[in-house]
Structure 1
Amino acid sequence: MNIEKREAIILTSTRGMAHALGRRFGVRSASASEMVTRKGTRILWTGGPLLRHCTPGEYRPRWKDYRLSDLPILPDFRLKPIATARDRIKAIQDALSACDQVIHAGSPDAGGQFGIDTLLDHLDWKGSVQRMLLPSLHPEDISEVRPVSNTPYRAWTESEKCRMHADWLIGINLSRMLTLTANQSTPIPAGRVMTPLLALMRDRASTQIPKPESVITPFDTAHLQAACLRSAGTPPEKTLMAAQNLYEAGLISYPFTNHKKLNPALWSAHHAFPVDLHQVEPAVMAHAGGLQILDMPKRPLKSDEQTVFEAILARESQLRQECSRQGCTRQTAHHPQSTHALADLYEDMADLRRWVASPELRARADDSIQLGTPRSRHTMLAKVFKDGFVNPSTLRITHKGESALAHVPPSMLDSGAIILWESAISAVAQGSLDADAFMRRIQSYVGSLLQETQRRKAC
């Protein structure tokens, strides 16, 4: 009996990433939902998140309403399809039914890993999954990538689940407790990241903490956004979109990064001059690392793309000059920067160590730990501006913002708490901390937050 041999499909995060793979492997046909390579391999993309965290009322109908007796609300992690994504999910499900292997080519970070892993879990996929990491979409780099087992990278998904569910649990419980104890009809917002952000914006206006001497390093996302604000006034969200376009065109490395150290394999493949590669941490090898140029454009760039490209090129020029003058040692930057309030804020959010009260915690903190993720930072700031907690013109916290912080337990206001939680999430991603153990810590912390909030209100 003849058994039809089924093919693998490639599943990636964006249409632009799919087109980059198609350019490398050749395209036989393309439609609005997929591409087919010359060898017949189908390439599909998620086009963004397809699943979302369940709401309290979707766990239990009674949780739709605010009741003190229901707190703490501590359900297990659960996702459900986004309503507008059902057609996309169905197209991917149909493609899965005709194959026996998935090549996971999602964005090369925890978010990209999570997006496709959780979709496959939701669709109850039982076949083989191989991981194709794409810190670069330059054709030569794609040619060098060999799919490997996806299993080791499942820890990235677990870390993102921990991040998402921790944010949900802390935000839901603390917001409801603050609202109920204040006898307000309008919810008082709170969150694992949002509350420390408001505290940072309050404290930075009244506390003069000198910036340490800056060292010339490759850009992470936040510092790229700050540089583009200063040089051309490019809004941070447009910098992200332009950087994504440049990445998908194979011109720069993956742009959503907290790392300020280079991926040495990418650097040596695209640059003739050496840099301080011996200080690259092992973790950077699995990520894109700091932003770098991979190729010169073959077409005119759009204005925002040109700004982003020139900013990264200028930073590489600084690296080259320091390397040639000082024999590849890390040097202090003495390049003057113009003042720009929003750019300064992005840099402050990317260097939490300056705002941590504990010297011991400040000393041990990794410099890649930042307030918010590269993708979420702009959205989070836009929300506090829109909701009236921070004046977008002065970047000063408003009376409404001060009120939102009034009864919050002190541990939620200290940037050191972010460092502790982000270090734990990183440990989950590296496989050195069990995700269940992390969530037990979060649940215990939620309970202590609620108790402390009630005590503060009683006093």
Structure 2
Amino acid sequence: MRLIIAEKPSLARAIADALPGGSRREDGALHAGDTVVTWCLGHLLEQAPPDAYDPAFKQWRVDHLPILPTRWQLVPRAKARGQLGVIRKLLKQTREVVHAGDPDREGQLLVQEVIEYLGWKGPVSRLLVSDLNRPAVQRALARLEDNARYQPLYRAAESRSRADWLYGINLTRAWTLTGRQAGHDGVLSVGRVQTPVLGLVVRRDAEIRDFVPYPFHVLWADLAVRHGQLRAWWQPGENHRLDAQGRLLDRAPALALAERLPAAEGRLTSLVTRQKRQAAPLPYSLSALQVDAARRFGLSAQAVLDICQRLYERHKLITYPRSDCRYLPDEHFAQARATLESACRSDETLGGWLRGADFRLRSKAWDDKKVGAHHALAPTGKPAELARLEHAEADVFRLIARNVLAQFYPPLAINEVKAEFTILEERFRASGQELLEPGWKPLFATRDEAPPLPPLVEGEPCRVEACDVEDRETRPPEPFNDASLIKAMMNIARYVDDPVVKRTLREHDGLGTEATRAGIIETLIERGYLVRRKKTLRATRLGDGLIASLPQAASRPERTAVWEQRLTAIAERGDDPRPFITALVEDLRDLLDSADAARLRQAMATAQGEAAPTPSRRGKAISTRRRSGKGKPPPRRRQRNNA
């Protein structure tokens, strides 16, 4: 018997449906001839709690820290024991095991840790499925690989799990115990990803709160030229008082010039025209989709992830969604026309875009060299009856299909025009764009483009028809929302000051993963550190106080981003994970030494974040119940890794 272990029931059903002869369900598995397909239910196992290593660790005490397991243990999740028993029984009857976890780091860990926990010593193959439609699954079944090839990926995922446990367990206990000394009775959760994300929001809120606006002034002039009229803007010279962005801080020079401008004549002294061609945006990764869906439809990152999971598992309309890749395999190009025609023809909007596509074109989106364990999100080719989907599901599917369809449109071509006029020995600038070829742009246009400049010739005269001075004021940065926070997590190098680290992070960007970013935001809200105010995300007083009490190293993105670099090196180059864990333990000792009750008390007293709404029941379990006795944590569910 051959046993295939899928990550979840939906994948197991898709695999069984692709096997010859049909299947029957029996005792937590699907039987198809000599092949049996069973499944996990997400993670069946989890890192053992501290008291599994020493019963004394059930009490939270400072003198226990750091807790450092010498031999790591996994334990079954409470609701997973039954399915774990099914897999154990089937392993005793099989000759070969096929690992069918999702094609990513966590998917590799989820199934392989079960196989190893149950003591299987025989051969293991790897099945990589990114599309649940039957032809795609059949192709994947014909291309089984040796699971040994994916051992580095497993070691990276295992190292991530252990590191998160070490970091979350030790720092959460340290800050919770310190919090008690400072008069705070709740659990203060600290994690290697969630805490730097919270730090981003706290610092942004502080920038907004501390922002002191100041006025600046602009002078515009409407100019008559040979073939029409345009608006140009005065460019004050360095002899005036300017800010770092070149904005005029004194109103008087602008007013004095404005008095002299009416009917003044000048000349076009510089004209630069540059033709630009811009290829269509690439197909989506999950995070890129979350950013666009938040901007266009106001959907939270978690809502987009949930929608994508339904489109993938229930409706089978899109490929594997938890992808960080924006490229497609070369083999998809040959099938793209048939796939898109089948997927899009029943929807009026998509059908219109489909009719405009030129399938002779090939964009840079198809590139095997840039495709890893998974590829960009794309339609599977199953006919999409969007009228039967929820409205938000249809919206998200159209975005995914649109970005793939756009690859079969020509580039956007424009003439970018920059004109500089000299009037009364002062410089005035105007800019505009001339559309040469709309290309893919009509698929994406959400607002009218600025009108182009009239035809211009360098040296031609101009005359001032009207002018005015506008008084403006600098504005604080915008608060984070789901879209901008996900984008910040994707492009975390922008928030790093160290030039060496910044340069490194440009190559290995990202805080969290495609699969975890939405969950991190929701966790911070659930734990009372963030709140949603309309469409924005703001820190609470609890979140503000926690960040103020932590050393900067724990609340900034550098550490966790470097973690991801090291985990990538383990996964892609096969680096030994032991130096990574050793370095983490050294960092952990330094962080634990910095816990200070007086600092925490002061931080909580001066915190200026927003008041959190009444926590949910689960939130109370985490953050608001009072401790039940000396040396014990507040009553709560089993402590999780606080990533």
Shared topology, TM-score over 0.5? yes
Q: Is the 8 A contact 1:12 1:43 kept in 2?
A: yes
What is the correspondence of 1:279-290 to structure 2 with a 5 Å cutoff? Answer: 280=367, 282=369, 284-290=370-376
- State the 1:275 CA deviation: 1.8
Identity of aligned residues (%): 25
**Cα displacement (A) at 1:117:** 0.5
Matched, 1:262 2:257: no
- Residue number in structure 2 paired with 1:3: none
Distance in 1 (CA, whole Å) between partners of 2:77 and 2:581 is 25
Question: Which residue of structure 2 aligns with residue 152 of structure 1?
Answer: 149
Question: Does residue 404 of the first structure (1) align with residue 546 of the second (2)?
Answer: yes
- The aligned counterpart of 1:275 is 363
Alignment partner, residue 628 of structure 2: none
For these two proteins, the number of residue pairs brought into alignment is 443
Q: After TM superposition, give the deviation of residue 259 of structure 1 in Å.
A: 2.3
**Structure 2 residue aligned with 1:392:** 532
Moved more, 43-52 or 243-252: 243-252
Could you tell me how far apart the structure 2 residues matched to 1:342 and 1:298 are?
28
2:449 is aligned with 1:361: no
Q: 2 CA distance for matches of 1:215 and 1:357?
A: 32
Residues 108 and 132 of structure 1: CA distance in aligned 2, closer, same or farther (over 3 Å): same
Aligned residue runs from structure 1 range 230-245, under 5 A: 230-245=295-310
Q: How many angstroms apart in 2 are the aligned matches of 1:267 and 1:214?
A: 17
Q: Helix, strand or coil for the counterpart of 2:124?
A: strand
In the alignment, is the contact (CA less than 8 A) between 1:20 and 1:250 conserved in 2? no
Partner residue in 2 for 1:46: 40
Structure 1 residue 408, shift from structure 2 partner: 1.2
Give the C-alpha shift of residue 450 in structure 1. Answer: 1.6
Moved more, 259-268 or 127-136: 259-268
Instruction: Verify: 1:177 aligned to 2:174, yes or no.
Output: yes
C-alpha contact 1:357 1:414 (8 A) present in aligned 2: no
Of 125, 130, 138 in structure 2, the residue corresponding to residue 135 of structure 1 is 130
For 2:530, what is the secondary structure of its paired residue?
Answer: coil
Among 74, 85, 89, the alignment partner of 1:90 is 85
Q: Structure 1 residue 367: deviation in Å? A: 6.1
Is the 8 Å Cα contact of residues 263 and 288 (structure 1) preserved in structure 2?
no
Change (3 A) 1:343 1:62: same
Contact 2:5/2:99 (8 A) holds in 1: yes
8 Å CA contact 2:45, 2:76 repeated in 1: yes
C-alpha separation in 2, matches of 1:417 and 1:20: 40
Alpha-carbon shift at residue 323 of structure 1 (Å): 4.7
Question: What's the secondary structure of 2:23's corresponding residue?
Answer: strand
Residue 354 (structure 1) shift: 1.8
Contact 2:5–2:40 (Cα < 8 Å) also in 1: yes
Aligned to 1:376: 516
The amino acid across from 1:360 in the alignment is V
Change (3 A) 1:319 1:344: farther
| Of 40, 57, 68, the match for 1:63 | 57
Larger strand percent: 2
The answer for unaligned runs of 5 or more in structure 2 is 209-277, 338-358, 415-436, 448-477, 603-643
Given the two structures, how large is their TM-score scaled by the length of structure 1?
Answer: 0.87
The alpha-carbon distance between structure 1 residues 325 and 257, as it changes in their structure 2 partners (threshold 3 A), is same
Aligned partner of residue 406 in structure 1, secondary structure: helix
Q: For the structure 1 residues 268 and 111, does the alpha-carbon distance in structure 2 shift closer, same or farther, using more than 3 Å as the test?
A: farther
Cross-structure match for 2:201? 201
**1:264 touches 1:285 (CA, 8 Å); kept in 2?**
no
Maintained 8 Å contact 1:267/1:292:
no
Cα 1:435–1:43 change in 2 (3 A) is same
Instruction: Identify the match of residue 317 of structure 1 among 397, 405, 408.
Output: 405
User: Structure 1 pair 268/368, CA: closer, same or farther in 2 (3 Å)?
Assistant: farther
Superposed CA RMSD: 3.2
Q: 2:381 aligns with which of 295, 302, 305?
A: 295
Question: What does residue 192 of structure 2 align with?
Answer: 192
Structure 1 residues 70 and 236, CA gap change in structure 2 (3 angstroms) = same
Residue range with higher mean Cα deviation, 77-86 or 244-253: 244-253
Give a deviation string over 1:138-167, Cα, whole Å, max 9, x none. 333333331111012121121111111111
More helix by share: 1
Shift of 1:174: 1.6
Please report how far the alpha carbon of residue 59 of structure 1 lies from its aligned counterpart in structure 2 after TM superposition: 1.9
Q: Please point out which of 476, 481, 490 is paired with 1:341.
A: 481
Q: Which protein has greater RCO, CA pairs closer than 8 Å, 6+ apart? A: 2
Residues 379-388 or 295-304, more deviating: 295-304
CA distance change for structure 1 residues 398 and 89 in 2, over 3 Å: closer, same or farther?
same
User: Which runs of structure 2 are paired with 1:105-116 in the superposition (5 Å)?
Assistant: 105-116=100-111
For the pair 1:13 / 2:7, whether they are aligned, the reply is yes
Q: CA deviation at 1:115?
A: 0.7
TM-score (structure 2 length as normaliser): 0.63
Does the 8 Å contact 1:138/1:294 carry over to 2?
yes
Give, in whole Å, the separation in 1 of the partners of 2:505 and 2:280. Answer: 17
1:442-453 aligned at under 5 Å gives the runs: 442-453=584-595
- Equivalent pair of 2:301/2:486 in contact (CA under 8 Å): no
Q: Which string of whole-angstrom CA distances, capped at 9 and with x for unpartnered residues, describes residues 82-137 of structure 1?
A: 11111101111111111110111111111111011000111001111000111233
Closer/same/farther in 2, CA of residues 93 and 325 from structure 1, 3 Å limit: farther
2: distance between equivalents of 1:190 and 1:349? 18
CA distance in structure 1 between the partners assigned to 2:280 and 2:585 by the alignment? 39
The separation in 1 between residues aligned to 2:159 and 2:199, in whole angstroms, is: 23
1:170 & 1:257 partners in 2: Cα distance? Answer: 26
State the one-letter code of the partner of 1:115. Answer: L
CA contact 1:52–1:82 (8 Å) conserved in 2: yes
Preserved contact between residue 276 and residue 330 of structure 1 (Cα < 8 Å): no
In structure 1, what is the Cα distance between the partners aligned to 2:575 and 2:294? 38
- 8 Å contact 1:18–1:45 — kept in the other structure? yes
Quote the offset at 1:253 in angstroms. 2.0
Counterpart of 1:305, as a letter, is E
* Distance of 1:151 and 1:98 partners within structure 2: 22
> Is this contact kept in 2: 1:252–1:291, CA < 8 A?
yes
- Give yes or no for contact 2:28–2:86 (8 Å, CA) kept in 1: yes
Matched, 1:126 2:268: no
From the superposition, tell whether residues 357 and 330 of structure 1 become closer, same or farther in structure 2 (CA, over 3 Å).
farther
Q: Distance in 1 between matches of 2:548 and 2:446?
A: 38
Report the alpha carbon displacement of residue 191 of structure 1 after superposing the two structures with TM: 1.0
CA gap 1:78/1:153 in 2 versus in 1, 3 angstroms: same
Q: Is the 8 A contact 2:6 2:40 kept in 1?
A: yes
Shift of the 376–320 alpha-carbon distance from structure 1 to 2, 3 Å rule, reads same
CA positional deviation for 1:168: 1.4
Q: Answer yes or no: is the 8 Å Cα contact 1:246–1:252 preserved in 2.
A: yes
Mapped to 1, the partners of 2:280 and 2:406 lie a distance apart of 11
Contact 1:139 1:250 in 2 (8 A): no
Rg comparison, structure with higher value: 2
